[in-house]
Structure 1
Amino acid sequence: MSQLIQAFRGGRWYESLDTAEVADGLRICLTPEIMLRDDARKAPATELDMPGTARRDILRRAVSSFRTGAPEVGGIGAQDPDTFAASLGEIAGLPEPLVWRWCDLLATSIEELADAAPDRHSTLVWLPGNTFTCLVAVAEAVLRGSVLVVRPSTREPLSAARFVAALLEAGWPSHRIRFCPTRTGALDTLLRVTDRQIVYGGEAVAAAVGHMSTVDLRGPGRACAVIAPDADPDDTAAWLAGLVAADSGRFCTNVCTVACLGDPAPVAGRLGELLDGIELTPADQRWPVGWVDERTAARTAEFVTERVAADDTFVTSRELVVSEGGRTFLSPTLVRLPSPAGHPLVGCELPFPFASVVAVDEPAARQLMARSRFVYTAGVTA
C-alpha cells in the first residue's frame, strides 16, 4: 500500500495534487509556488506571545516525542521509534545504529542552543537530505519565536515531517509553522517570501545564495586534515579513519582531503587498511555504513571514476560498489593523488566515506585550509 506524506499549511495537514516519489511506496505532497506566496501574505506579523522558558519546554517535549514517541504525521499517521528507524532504512539507507546516534546528536545540539529574544520574522529552513541532525536549525528558529517555514529534502522528508508533528504535539502554535515540500526550483520563491533563511546545500546552492545578507548558508564543508611529516602513521590513520568514516561519511564535517606535509605513503597505506576493514553487513560497530539504491551507486561510482586520472591510485582495495546482504553499498574509499592543484577530487564531498590523500607543501596546505570550513591537524598549527 502506498503512503503520502502531506504538507502542513493553514494550521492543518494538507494533501496537494502535485506529488513526488520519495521511495518505493512513499510519495510526498509538493507545495506549488503560488501557494507559497499566498501563505506568506497570510502569515502572522506579530511577535510570539510566549516566554522563552515556554519555547524551550516545547522544544524539549518535541525532541522527546521525536526520539521515543509516535507523533502524528499527516498522511502516514503515527510511527513508533522502531517503525521510524525502519522507514529511514528504506528511504535513506540508514542502519539503525546511525538513526539512534543522530537522534542523540540532535537532542544534544538542541539542548546546547542559547536562548533568544523573540522576533516577528519568518524563517525558512531549507534542509538537506544527508542527515536529519540539521533539524537543529528548526529548533533555533523556535527559540527565536519565528514563523517557521520548513522545506524538507524530497530525498528524505520523513524526519522533518516527524519533527514538525512533534512540535505541534508539544504545543507549538499551528499558525506559526508551515511544512512546505517543494521542487528545488522553488528556492528563489521561498527566499523572497521569508525574512530570514537557514539554507543547507552544496556548491550549486552556495553559489545561488551566498551573496544574500539574510541567508545563513550552511554549505559545503570541504573538510581537510593536514598531517605533519613526523606524525605517527598508525595513530594518525586511526584518528583519520573516524573523521572519514563516522556517520557514514554523510556529514559536512567528514574529512574528504588528507594533506600530508611529508610522504603520504605510510599514513595512506594504514588508513586504506582501516577503511577496507569496515564491515558493511552486519553494520560495523564503530562506523556503520549506509546503503543506497543501485542507480545512485552507479551514478556516484561513475562520478568518481571519471575524475580519477591515470596517475591517481586507489589505496583501498574494495570495489566502489559492493552488494552484500541484499543491499548495495558505496564502500569506504581512499584515493591517492599526485598533486592537489586543480584536481576535481580535492575537497569533493560525496555521500559515503570517501577521501583523497595528497602530498603538499606549506603554501598548498594553507590554500586547502583557507577553502575548508572544517580543518583538522596532526602536529600542525592551523
Structure 2
Amino acid sequence: MPTPPHPQPVQLDALGPRGPYRTRVPSTVHDVTGAEVARLSLVPPVYVTRALSALRGAEPVPAAQVDTLLAAAAEEFASGTVGGLDVPAYEDLVSRTAGTPLPVVRAATRGTARFVALARSSAEQGRPRGTFAGLAHMDAGHAVWARRGDVFAVNASGNHPGVHRLWLEALALGYRVAVRPSRREPFTPHRLVAALHRVGVRQDQLVLLPTDHRAADMLIRGADRTVVYGGDDVVARYAGDPRVLPQGPGRSKILVTADTDWRAHLDTIVASVADEGGTACVNATAVLVEGDPAPLAEALAASLSSLPSLPPQDQRAVLPVCGLERARALDSYLRLVAAGTRPWLGGDGIVEDLGDGSAVLRPAVHQAASAGAEQLRTELPFPCVWVAPWNRTDGTAPLRDTLVLTALTRDRSLLDRLVAEPTVANVHVGDHPTYWMAPGIPHDSYLSDFLMRGKAVVGTL
C-alpha cells in the first residue's frame, strides 16, 4: 500500500557551513496533485557568498578517511533516519513531488548508495596512468594529479535522484562542495548532504544551498568548477565558460542495422525507452533502423501501450506523473513537434487524468520520415521515442550529439566509426540498454577530466 500523506509539511533547512539555516518565509514544495508537502529554506545571495568563503577556507576531507566516510554515508543514506525521514518516508516524498514511479525511486536509493560508497575508487579510474596522487619521486621528476580549484558547485536538476551520484567524486578528490538542489525534488540532496555530515564530513566542507535563480548565478560565478543541469539554453549559455560543465539533454539513441534481428532485442529497446519512467538523460529518444522502421515502431508501440496508468507512489507504477496543467502543455507541445510524422502511439494524446489534479504521461511512438528529421532532437520527460529509417549513406551524422548509443550491429567498421565520433559519449554494443551505468565507468567522460590536471613536479626537499 502507498505510504499515507504526511500530516505536516516537512521542514527542509539549508545546510550551511555553521549548521542548518531556516528562513522565516520558506518556499513551498508541492506534490503532483498540488498539495503542500515541504517547506524549503532559500538562502539569500549574501549567504551564498559567505558559504563559498567558508568552503574556500576549509581543508579537504582527509584522503585517508574518505573511503570510511563514504561507506558510512552510503549506509546512512540507504537505511537510516535522516532529517527526520526514514527511507520509506523519503522515497514516498520523492515519488510524490517528482512524479517518479516509486519502484524507480527505490531502485535509485540502492543505486545511489552504491555509487556513494565507491565514489573515491570511481574518481580514481579517471586518473592518468602517468600521474601520482601526491608527491613521490621528486628528484627524478614525476606528474602529480592536482585539482584545478578548491570549490565545486552543483546546480542540480530534479528529474531523477541519480543526478546526485556524480558530485561525490569531487568531494573524494578534495574539493569542498556546494549543492544547489532542485526546488522540485530537494529531498535527495538534502538527505545525502545530511548523511555525510552525520558520519563526519564537516559542515564547512559540504553545504546545501537552496536558492532562487539570482543567488544561483552567484554560486556558479563564485565556484572554481561547476556542473549545471538544464536544457539546450543552459548548454548554450555556458558553452564558452571553461569553469562550467553543462549537462543538457542526452538524446540517447538505438541503432539497428540490417544484420541484426530487432525482434530478439525488443525487450531491451522497450526498456531503454521506458525504464526509469522515461525521464532520464540515458533513456532512448530515437531508434534508427536500417530498412523499414514500421514493424519495429508497431511492436514498440504495442509493448508500451500496455503500461499501466497509476499514481507515482503506487508500488506498481512505471510511468511519470505531473500536474494536470503541465501534462496538457506537454501534450500540446508534442502534437506541435510531431506534425508530419506517423503516430503509432500517443497521437490522440498522452494525458491520463488521475482525477486529483495530476496526470500520468502516457508513452508516445512516432515514425519520422528520415534519419535527419528534426523531431529526433526532441527529448521529453516521459517515454517518447522517434523511430526513423537509416541507411549507410546517412553515416554517423544522424547519431551525433548522443549521450548513449546502443548499437545493435555486427559491423565492426561501423562500430569503430561510432566509437571515434567525438559527439557520441558512450557506445553500448549489442543487447545492453541505454540506461546501463556502473561505478567507475564514465557517464559523460570522467568528471575528473573536468576537475583535475597533471602537474609536473621535480626537485629535492
**TM-score, with length taken from structure 2:** 0.75
1:205 aligned onto 2:234 = yes
Alpha-carbon displacement from aligned partner over 1:31-70 (angstroms, at most 9, x marks no partner)? 2223212332343435426233x11211111121111111
Q: Which residue of 2 aligns with 1:33?
A: 45
Q: How does 1:169-318 map to 2 (within 5 A)?
A: 169-281=198-310, 288-309=318-339, 311-316=340-345
Alpha-carbon displacement from aligned partner over 1:323-366 (angstroms, at most 9, x marks no partner)? 358552001111111134352x3122211111111113335451
User: Which residue type is aligned with residue 40 of structure 1?
Assistant: L
Bigger CA radius of gyration: 2
The structure-2 alpha-carbon separation of the partners of 1:293 and 1:58, relative to structure 1 and needing over 3 Å to count, comes to: same
Q: How does 1:41-120 map to 2 (within 5 A)?
A: 41-48=53-60, 50-52=62-64, 54-72=65-83, 78-113=84-119, 114=121
Q: Which residue of 2 aligns with 1:359?
A: 389
**Paired residues of 2:321 and 2:360 also in contact (CA < 8 A):** yes
**Paired residues of 2:311 and 2:360 also in contact (CA < 8 A):** no
The structure-2 alpha-carbon separation of the partners of 1:363 and 1:121, relative to structure 1 and needing over 3 Å to count, comes to: farther
1:5 aligned onto 2:23 = no
**Paired residues of 1:7 and 1:13 also in contact (CA < 8 A):** yes
Alpha-carbon distance between aligned partners in 2 of 1:287 and 1:236, rounded to the nearest angstrom? 24
Q: How does 1:317-332 map to 2 (within 5 A)?
A: 319-324=349-354, 328-332=359-363
| C-alpha deviation, 1:281, in angstroms | 3.3
Alpha-carbon displacement from aligned partner over 1:158-177 (angstroms, at most 9, x marks no partner)? 11111111111111111212
Unpaired runs of 5+ in structure 2? 1-7, 125-132, 134-145, 419-461
User: Which residue type is aligned with residue 73 of structure 2?
Assistant: A
Alpha-carbon distance between aligned partners in 1 of 2:264 and 2:99, rounded to the nearest angstrom? 31
**Paired residues of 1:224 and 1:368 also in contact (CA < 8 A):** no
Alpha-carbon distance between aligned partners in 2 of 1:87 and 1:253, rounded to the nearest angstrom? 24
1:368 aligned onto 2:398 = yes
**Paired residues of 1:242 and 1:287 also in contact (CA < 8 A):** no
Secondary structure in structure 2 of the residue aligned to 1:374: strand
Alpha-carbon distance between aligned partners in 1 of 2:390 and 2:167, rounded to the nearest angstrom? 40
Determine which of 312, 315, 339 is the counterpart of 2:370. 339
Secondary structure in structure 2 of the residue aligned to 1:89: helix
Alpha-carbon distance between aligned partners in 1 of 2:54 and 2:368, rounded to the nearest angstrom? 55
Q: Which residue of 1 aligns with 2:21?
A: 14
User: Which residue type is aligned with residue 176 of structure 2?
Assistant: V
Alpha-carbon distance between aligned partners in 1 of 2:10 and 2:151, rounded to the nearest angstrom? 30
| C-alpha deviation, 1:286, in angstroms | 9.3
Determine which of 191, 205, 221 is the counterpart of 1:162. 191
Higher relative contact order (CA 8 A, sep 6+): 2
| C-alpha deviation, 1:154, in angstroms | 0.9
Q: How many residues align?
A: 374
The structure-2 alpha-carbon separation of the partners of 1:49 and 1:333, relative to structure 1 and needing over 3 Å to count, comes to: closer
**Paired residues of 1:223 and 1:347 also in contact (CA < 8 A):** no
User: Which residue type is aligned with residue 290 of structure 1?
Assistant: P
**Paired residues of 2:63 and 2:172 also in contact (CA < 8 A):** no
User: Which residue type is aligned with residue 61 of structure 1?
Assistant: A
Unpaired runs of 5+ in structure 1? 73-77
Instruction: Using the aligned pairs only, state the percent identity.
Output: 24
**Paired residues of 2:45 and 2:214 also in contact (CA < 8 A):** no
Alpha-carbon distance between aligned partners in 2 of 1:363 and 1:166, rounded to the nearest angstrom? 53
